[in-house]
Structure formats: C-alpha cells, structure tokens
Amino acid sequence: MTRPFEIGSVIAALKSVIGPTQGPVALHEPSLDGNEIRYATECISSGWVSSVGSFVDEFERRLSAITGAKRAVAVVNGTAALHVALLLAGVRPGDEVLVPALTFVATANAVAYCGAVPHLVDSDAATLGLDPRKLDAYLKEHTTSRGGARVNSSTNRRIAAVVPMHTFGHPVDLDALAEVCARFEIPMVEDAAEALGSRIRGRHVGTWGRLSIISFNGNKIVTTGGGGAILTNDEALGRRAKHLTTTARRPHPWLYEHDEIGYNYRMPNLNAALGCAQLEKLDSFVERKRALAAGYQHAFADMEGIRVFREPDFATSNYWLNALLLDPENAVHRDGILRAAHQEGVLARPAWTLLHRLAIYADCPRMDLSCAEDLQRRLINVPSSAALSRTKLVATS
Ligand SMILES: *Cc1c(COP(=O)(O)O)cnc(C)c1O
C-alpha cells in the first residue's frame, strides 16, 4: 500500500516523528545534559578560562582517540580550522581549490582567505557530496601537469587542493576521491565540519585527507559554544597547525618570539571544557540521531513522490541533519512544504544556496553543476536534534 503525495501528509508524517512539543521545533539544538556545567565550573574555579589550560589538551586527546587521527588541534571555529588546513596543504594566493557548489559558504570563504579562488564542482546524488567520477573526468579534460603541479588549462592557475565535504554528516566516497586526488597529485583536505561520529567501514572520516577539519558550532552534533579542530595523521603538520594557530610563538618560559605571522585561532579553555563533556556523549548522540533517522524513514516509507535520504552503503553516518528528497516532479512543492511546516512550528529548511548563485562567488570557475542544482531544488532539511529521538515511539506507532 502506498499513500499519494500531499503537502498535508508530509507535514503530518514529520509531526508524527517529532511528537508533541511545546513551541517551534528547531532544525538542530544542542543537548547539554552531561558534565557541561561541572567541567565549566571546574574551569572557571581554576581561573584558566582562556588561552592556557588542561581542558584544551584533554579535548584534543579525546578527539584524536575518537577519530583515530594522530593529531587534533583545537581552534576557535571550523572556518578558521579550514583556513589553516588549506594554508598547511600549500594553498597560496592565485591558486584554485576545488570545492563542492553544494556546501555551506564557509568552505569557499576559507579558500578566499588564502587568496585563492574556489573552483566549484558537482555532487553525487548517492552521497550528496563530491562526485569522484565526474571529478576524475573533469580533471582529465580541463587540467594539465606542468612543472610538478596540476594546472587549470583555461586559467593557468594551479589546482592546489580538493575539499570534499560530508554533507549533513553523510560520508562522501573517500576511497574513490583519495584515489583520484592521488592520481592527479592534488592534496585532499576534508571539510568534515558536520561529520563527527561518521565512519566508513569503521574508519572515522577526516582521516583520509592530508588534513581535515571539524566544527563545534552550536548547531553541530557536538558543540563547544563555538569551536573547531584540525585533524591530521602527519605529526609534522600537526605541530605546524598548533604553531600557526597560536600566533607562531616559539616555546620559551618568558620571551615573546614569533617566527612567522601566525593566527590567534586557539580554542579557549572554557570552550574546551564544554567540549570534553560533549564528547563523552557523542556515542549516545549518534545512536539517538540514527534512531530519529529510522523514524523518518519509517514515516515516509509508504509515501509516493518523496523519500528520506539514506546513508550510502559503505558508510555509517552520524545523521547530523535529516533530508527529505522530493521526486523531481514534486520539486515545485518544496516551498509549499517549507511554508506549511513553519506554520506548524516545524522549522524545516532548504539546502544552502549554491555557491555560484551567491554574487560573491558567481564568477568562480565551475564545471557542469546539474546534480547539485537538482538536489538543491528538491531537498528539505528537517528537525534532527538528538533529543527528538525520545519521541520515536510516536514515529513507529
Ligand atoms: C559549520 C560548517 C563549517 C564552519 O564551521 P564554523 O565552526 O561555523 O566556522 C564549515 N563547513 C561546513 C560544511 C559547515 O557545515
């Protein structure tokens, strides 16, 4: 038995998963019911709330243990993490960096901070992230190898990095992308901002790229209030990341000596205290978010013309944000659904405006973006807080 597509039924299905609530339901809210207050109090009592303190070291150690990355460097936010990761990957002014058109604006902004040009590439409907086959064909046709560098044949600019992004926490096909990047000798830097807790065959994302980044913004699966981290398996790059994000100060008991122009990007100890408490809950967050995703899958299973995005076969996703995908013929109803959902207090959202549709990036070089365009027209993100899975009883009734 199937149910016909109808805006009213879509809203009813969403509400059946979310359950009874007081007030509007946000797209994503943090859960702060662990040791957050205890550690923050400990941090404040110690007096070490700022640039020095044990919580930062502990947070980095725990991140490294969770992800399997040899080194994690905590910084002020995910955008700053990506800025420094790109610099350390060798991105220089005048270079081009391949980024998906379907991403949060920060991915491209970090490229621009390096004085480089974002070069927009298409997504794959199976992962919502960078399409390795399309990338491969594009690099073959539009780039050449020149003096040990990969160069865009039409702009003559060096392609300095590829930045895959794990959309809504769902892993991209990293094995395939790493193979393409290796073949064309372009460093890969993963924007894993949304993907803490996501794995591919047991291995945590953020460990394929030469460097990777995670965000701990208030709306991500784990938050430090605001924060980010750089991950790498290369010890030397890890040391460089720490140095560059701490004003490049040379270690000395009292002297202020700085051997390059560094950044004041270090995560404050107070934020790291919050982060230590949050990381203790990561497994339960992932479990609850996966249960919520299963609830959405169930609620829409028999509805025609719409489905809930499901993680690719090779991956175990953290399901940071759930996404409804309208069939192409129902894309015209996207805004109707968003309007009706908001009227009912369900704060659903469309995907980000594609980067080439923003005036600031309209002139960037780009490949055919038909898949990203198509996804953007018919995708709707729905409330995905871990706390909502407490109501999953309603979803499966
Ligand atoms: C959140 C996010 C970032 C940036 O993280 P901030 O901590 O907000 O600076 C970068 N890329 C993507 C894909 C994100 O979702």
3-state helix/strand/coil string of 135-193: HHHHHHHHEEEECCEEEECCCCCEEEEECCECHHHCCCCHHHHHHHHHHCCCCEEEECC
- How much distance in Å is there from the Cα of 309 to the middle of ligand 1? 21
Model confidence band, residue 202 (pLDDT cutoffs 50, 70, 90): very high
Spatial CA neighbour of 87 closest among 194, 245, 267 = 245
As a whole number of angstroms, the longest Cα–Cα distance in the chain is 74
Bridge partners (DSSP) of residue 99 are: 120
Nearest CA to ligand 1 atom 6: 78
> Per mean pLDDT, which range of 46-50, 193-197, 247-251, 254-258 is the poorest?
46-50
Per-residue pLDDT at 150: 98
- How much distance in Å is there from the Cα of 110 to the middle of ligand 1? 10
Quick one: 54 exposed, middle or buried, by C-beta within 10 A (0-12, 13-18, 19+)?
middle
- How much distance in Å is there from the Cα of 142 to the middle of ligand 1? 29
Find all residues with CB under 8 Å of 107, minimum gap 6, and list them: 82, 99, 100, 118, 163, 165, 191
**C-beta separation of 192 from 204 below 8 A:** no
Q: Is the CB of 196 under 6 A from ligand 1?
A: no
The DSSP line for 53-98 is -HHHHHHHHHHHHHH--SEEEEES-HHHHHHHHHHHTT--TT-EEE
CA distances from 78 to 224, 226, 347 (A): 11, 8, 24
CA distances from 62 to 74, 140, 273, 274, 329 (A): 11, 41, 12, 13, 46
Q: What is the CA radius of gyration of the chain?
A: 21
Q: What does the pLDDT look like over 149-179, one tens digit per residue?
A: 999 999 999 999 999 999 999 999 999 999 9
Long-range contacts of 27-30 (CB under 8 A, 24+ apart): 27/219, 27/321, 27/347, 27/348, 27/349, 27/381, 27/382, 27/383, 27/384, 28/219, 28/220, 28/320, 28/321, 28/383, 28/384, 28/385, 29/219, 29/385, 29/387, 30/218, 30/219, 30/223, 30/278, 30/385
Q: Is the CB of 98 under 6 A from ligand 1?
A: no
Amino acid identity at 315: A
User: Is pLDDT at 116 greater than 50 in this prediction?
Assistant: yes
Per-residue pLDDT at 201: 97
Q: Is the CB of 385 under 6 A from ligand 1?
A: no
Ligand 1 atom with minimal separation from the 217 CA: 7
Q: What's this model's pTM, rounded to 2 decimal places?
A: 0.96
Model confidence band, residue 384 (pLDDT cutoffs 50, 70, 90): very high
- How much distance in Å is there from the Cα of 355 to the middle of ligand 1? 14
Q: What whole-number distance in Å separates Cα of residue 368 and Cα of residue 82? A: 25
Mean pLDDT of all residues in the chain? Answer: 96
Long-range contacts of 28-32 (CB under 8 A, 24+ apart): 28/219, 28/220, 28/320, 28/321, 28/383, 28/384, 28/385, 29/219, 29/385, 29/387, 30/218, 30/219, 30/223, 30/278, 30/385, 31/281, 31/285, 31/385, 31/386, 31/387, 32/274, 32/277, 32/278
Q: Is the CB of 124 under 6 A from ligand 1?
A: no
Q: Is the CB of 173 under 6 A from ligand 1?
A: no
Q: Looking at residues 301-323, what average pLDDT do you find?
A: 98
- How much distance in Å is there from the Cα of 104 to the middle of ligand 1? 7
Q: Is the CB of 104 under 6 A from ligand 1?
A: yes
Q: What whole-number distance in Å separates Cα of residue 321 and Cα of residue 219? A: 10
Q: Is the CB of 194 under 6 A from ligand 1?
A: yes
Total residue length of the chain: 397
Spatial CA neighbour of 222 closest among 195, 247, 203 = 195
User: Is pLDDT at 104 greater than 50 in this prediction?
Assistant: yes
- How much distance in Å is there from the Cα of 394 to the middle of ligand 1? 32
User: Is pLDDT at 395 greater than 50 in this prediction?
Assistant: no
Q: Please state, for a pLDDT cut of 90, what percent of the chain lies above it.
A: 94
- How much distance in Å is there from the Cα of 80 to the middle of ligand 1? 9
Q: Is the CB of 190 under 6 A from ligand 1?
A: no
Pairing state between β 117-121 and 96-100: parallel
Bridge partners (DSSP) of residue 285 are: none
- How much distance in Å is there from the Cα of 102 to the middle of ligand 1? 13
Q: Is the CB of 77 under 6 A from ligand 1?
A: yes
Q: Is the CB of 100 under 6 A from ligand 1?
A: no
The DSSP line for 40-51 is HHHHHHHT--SS
Q: Is the CB of 165 under 6 A from ligand 1?
A: yes
Ligand 1 atom with minimal separation from the 166 CA: 13
User: Is pLDDT at 22 greater than 90 in this prediction?
Assistant: no
Amino acid identity at 120: L
Q: Looking at residues 214-221, what average pLDDT do you find?
A: 97
Q: Is the CB of 224 under 6 A from ligand 1?
A: no
